A and B are shown apart, each in its own frame.
Chain A
């Protein structure tokens, strides 16, 4: 188990270096000169040169890369061109809301997806199965912004049940919950279809397995058979597949944040790109990518932890 974890960590290292390098290149290829931007439009050539030297921009590229890594290791991602706020400060303020949104979405959509998929697999070929299958095909075709706009239009505007812009407050306040509801419904809504589809396939496979037949043969009730013998084994691939879908969830989160003006990392990244705030764009993309490497690593490890058969491999 430990060997496996170490092996996975080692494999993540080149990816990590690649991401850091690409993050560095990002700043090299952008068309504007950071020193000129920092100095402002009225600065003289000497001032710009001074700032360039201060920022290390007059050094050769490999020195700049070293400097960049050094700053990165010290948690320095630079300063926003637009509002002069340190990138790490903005990131620190937005990561919480993004995680909040993602967890809230998973919290309600995974149980529903698993339940739908299990029911569909158990009554395979029935009207219910057809309904779930149709729902998951249709659900997998809905643009996330469409779902968000519809919820805003009906629940937020027509019926005035819930707020639909921004984050009302921390999670322990009523306002926080209310403002989280619609974004989490939107993002989770797009996640039900893939979870239901994966669960259905996995449960179908397990239902035909011999240990399920044995469980039935020894007279266990159907409920126990499905819950303890079929679903429990089917959950291993489902958990892995859900882990692999986190990328899909992140994509949805970026859009959901934009639709609901939710103050998360995704919205920050998109705003930075659209306003050519390169340090901010670089920082957000870097942090999102690093987060991703960690999530993939965790899923990998979780997979082995869940399935003892994988341990020797």
Chain B
């Protein structure tokens, strides 16, 4: 069991046993300046979202119509106020919280379901064909159609978006997990574990899954950026978070009405979405390079 880490590395990038131990993942990651900055931004954003209720200068729905549409830099309102006179900093913090939560929930729900499908397909070859055809069908429809269809049935809301993005994530994750699980399945230690009479569930959880984690994490990180981009677009269309809830895509949509005289209301949430997605994309790319140098092109 001690060599699980080493065998995970072997799946990702086979290294001869005689090679000196490579430095740790995190060390390799932060050695790249771009990756280090992206990681720092991600940590900062997550902290800001978690601490939103304590960091926010006002309550999320507190408004003062006398300061409505104030531009950034106004006395006491560093980033200005929105159309209803709510402090932009507060709205952004709560919006960031909602957007990141939406992303985490979608990637977790879709990712775990997809991973289960992927492991099942790789492990029980008899239903592999059926499962993967099903995944291909899901894959042939874009996320926007899931979003529209689910919104038509359940009505707009943040849970609608989470469900749509999860459904769109399942087949992608299933493919990736199946691919790497098939490689692991051919390893001797799986055969050895099976020979000891271990149950299927235990074999999958203890031996198969831990050795497929790295591609899974890389995908989840890259997917997170895409999910935020898609989710905020659905929110922008009005299919997501409903007023007065703060969500970055919905805030950009609200700000559209004031674009010509108070552009900051739309532009700042947009910039924040861009920053989140960019940071996760850069981090995902760096993670992939660090875990599998062969993929670097």
Known: A29-B153, A138-B278, A146-B270. A289 touches B141 (CB 8 A): yes
Q: Is the interface of A mostly helix, strand, loop or mixed?
A: helix
B263 within 8 A of A: yes
Q: B259 to nearest A CB, angstroms?
A: 6
A272 CB contacts on chain B under 8 angstroms:
152
Interface string of A282-310 (1 = CB under 8 A from B): 10110011001100100000000000000
Q: A274 to nearest B CB, angstroms?
A: 5
The stretch that binds B, out of A149-157, A172-180, A181-189, is A149-157
Known: A145-B270, A255-B237. A285 touches B149 (CB 8 A): yes
Interface residues on chain B, size class: 35 or more
A289 CB contacts on chain B under 8 angstroms:
141, 145
Interface string of B232-272 (1 = CB under 8 A from A): 11001111000000000100110010011001001100110
> B238–A292 contact, CB under 8 A?
no
> B140–A296 contact, CB under 8 A?
yes
Residues of A within 8 Å of B, CB-based: how many? 51
Q: B274 to nearest A CB, angstroms?
A: 6
A262 within 8 A of B: no
Q: Please give me the residue from chain B that is nearest to A201 by CB atom.
A: B297
Interface string of B256-294 (1 = CB under 8 A from A): 100110010011001101100110011001000000000
> B252–A141 contact, CB under 8 A?
no
Q: B286 to nearest A CB, angstroms?
A: 11
Known: A149-B259, A247-B143. A288 touches B232 (CB 8 A): no
B114 within 8 A of A: no
> B274–A146 contact, CB under 8 A?
yes
Q: Please give me the residue from chain A that is nearest to B233 by CB atom.
A: A255
Q: Which of A246-305 contact B (CB under 8 A)?
A: 246-248, 250-252, 254-255, 258-259, 266, 269-270, 272-274, 276, 278, 281-282, 284-285, 288-289, 292-293, 296
B270 CB contacts on chain A under 8 angstroms:
143, 145-146, 149
> B144–A250 contact, CB under 8 A?
yes
Known: A137-B282, A201-B297. A251 touches B144 (CB 8 A): yes
A292 CB contacts on chain B under 8 angstroms:
140-142, 145
Interface string of B126-159 (1 = CB under 8 A from A): 0000000000010011111100110111011000
B95 CB contacts on chain A under 8 angstroms:
none
| Bound complex: CA A141 to CA B140 (Å) | 23
A157 CB contacts on chain B under 8 angstroms:
259-260
Q: What are 28 sample pairs from A and B whose C-beta atoms fall under 8 A apart?
A: A15-B140, A29-B153, A30-B153, A140-B281, A142-B274, A143-B229, A143-B270, A145-B236, A145-B252, A146-B252, A146-B273, A149-B267, A149-B270, A153-B260, A157-B259, A247-B141, A251-B143, A251-B144, A251-B230, A255-B236, A270-B148, A276-B155, A284-B148, A285-B145, A285-B148, A289-B141, A292-B141, A292-B142
